[in-house]
Amino acid sequence: MERRILDLEKQNTELIAKNQFFMSKWEEAQNQAALMRAQVEEKKNENMLLIGQIKQLENNRTQQEVAIHALRQQLSELSDVNKNLNYNLNRGQVNNKENVESIKALYRENEMVKKRKDELSDINRSLMRDIEAKDEVLQRTTTEIMEREKHFRDVMENFKALANELATTRTAFGDSEQACQELQQTIASQAEQIAQLQDRLREFEHANTTLGSALQQHHSHSQQLTQEVINARNEIERERDEINQLFSEQQAHLLVSQSQSERMKEQEREIAQLMSENMRLKNRCEELNAQTVAAEQISEGESQKVVGVHQLLIEAQADCAEQQGRIDALMNEIAAKNIDLQEMEKYNYHMQYKKEMILLEKEEI
C-alpha cells in the first residue's frame, strides 16, 4: 500500500511537474497569442493606414486627372487663342504690307505731282516773261503811235491856221493890189508850204497807214497774245485748280496715309502686344505642357505607388493570413493543451481523491 502511495505521490509529483510545465507552456502560448494579437492589430492598423493612403492616393489621382483634364482643356483653349492670334498677326502683317505699298504709291504720286507742279511753275514763269516782254513792246508801240498821232494833230492845226489865214487874205484881196501881190506871194509860199505839207501829209498818211497796219497787226498779234495769255492763264488756273485739287487730294491721302500710318503704328503696337501675348501664351502652353507631363509623370508615379501599396497590402494580407493561420494553429494547440491540462487536472483530482481515500483507509487501519 505504501509503495502504491509512493507511486501515486511520484505520479502526482510528475503530474504536478507536467502541469507546471504545461501551465508555463500555456502561459507562453498565451503570451505568444497576445503578441500575435498585438502584431495582428498592428498589421490591421498598418493595413488601415495603407487603405487610407490608397484612398488618399486615389483621391489625389482623381484630382490630378481632373487637373490634367482642366489643363488639357486650358491648353486646347490656349491653342485656339494662339491660332486666332497667329491669324490676326498674319492678317495684320498683310494689312501692314498693303498699307506700306499704298503709302509708297501715294509718295510716288506725290512726287509726280510735285514734279508736274514744278514743270507748270516753270511754264508759268516762262509765259509771264513772254507776256511781260510783249507788254513792253506793246507799250513802246502804243507810245510811238500816240506821239505820231499828236504830230499829225499839230500838222492839222497848222493847216487849219493857214486855211484861216488864206481866207483872211482872200477877204483882204480886194483892198489893194499890193496886198494881192503880197497875198499871191504869200499864197505861193503857202502853196509851197501846203505842197510840202501835203507831201509830208502823204508821207505821214503812208507812215500812218504803215503804222496802222503794223498797229493792227500788232493789235491782232497783241489780241492773239492776249488770248494766248488768257488761255495760258486759264490753262494755268485750270492746272492750278487741278494742282490744288490734287494737292488737296494728296493732303487728304496724306491725312489718310497719316491715319493709316498711325493705324499701322497702332497695329504694329497691337502686333507687338499680340506677339508678346503669343510668346507669353506659348510660354504658358510650354509651362502647362511641362506641368501636364509632370502631372502625368506624378500620376504614373502615384499609380506605381498605388500599385506598390496594393502589392504591399496584398503581401500584408498574405502575412496577416499566415499570422492568422499560425495564430489559429497556436489556438488549436492551446485548446488541445487545455484539453490535456483539463484531463490531467481531472486525473490529478482523481489521484488526489484516491490518495485521500487511501490515507483515510490507512488511518482507519
> Using one digit for the tens of pLDDT, what is the confidence trace for 50-71?
888 778 887 877 887 787 777 7
CA–CA dist 12, 9 (Å, integer)? 5
Q: What number of CA atoms fall less than 13 Å from residue 121's CA on the CB side?
A: 7
Residues 6+ apart with CB under 8 A from 169: 183, 186, 187
Q: 213-216 long-range contacts, Cβ below 8 Å, gap at least 24?
A: 214/141, 215/141, 215/145
The C-alpha cell at 259 is 491715319
pTM metric for this prediction: 0.31
Q: What is the chain's Cα-based Rg?
A: 74
Domains of the chain by residue range: 58-323
Q: In the chain, which residue ranges form alpha helices assigned H by DSSP?
A: 2-171, 177-364
**Which amino acid does the sequence have at 11?**
Q
Percentage of residues in the chain having pLDDT higher than 70: 36
CA–CA dist 206, 152 (Å, integer)? 12
- Over residues 283-298, the pLDDT tens digits come to 655 665 565 555 555 5
Using an 8 Å Cβ cutoff, are 119 and 242 in contact?
A: no
- CATH fold of the domain at 58-323: Helix Hairpins (1.10.287)
Residues 6+ apart with CB under 8 A from 26: 334, 337, 338, 341
Name the DSSP letter for residue 172.
Answer: G
b/e for 280-313, b at 16 or more Cβ within 10 A? Answer: ebeebbeebeebbeebeebbeebeebbeebeebb
Residue with cell 490608397: 54
The C-alpha cell at 140 is 513802246
- Over residues 324-352, the pLDDT tens digits come to 566 566 566 656 655 665 666 665 566 66
Task: Please give the chain's pLDDT, 365 residues, in tens.
Answer: 667 777 777 777 877 777 777 778 888 878 887 888 888 888 888 878 888 877 888 787 788 778 777 777 877 777 777 777 777 767 766 766 776 677 677 777 778 877 877 887 787 787 778 777 776 776 777 777 677 667 666 766 765 666 566 566 556 545 545 655 665 566 556 556 656 655 655 665 565 566 556 556 655 655 665 566 566 567 656 765 665 565 556 555 555 555 555 655 565 566 556 556 656 655 655 665 565 555 555 545 544 544 554 565 556 556 555 655 665 665 666 566 556 656 666 655 666 666 566 666 656 55
Give which of 35, 69, 60, 39 is closest to 309, Cα–Cα: 60
**Which amino acid does the sequence have at 140?**
R
The C-alpha cell at 307 is 500599385
CA distances from 292 to 65, 75, 277, 283 (A): 10, 10, 21, 14
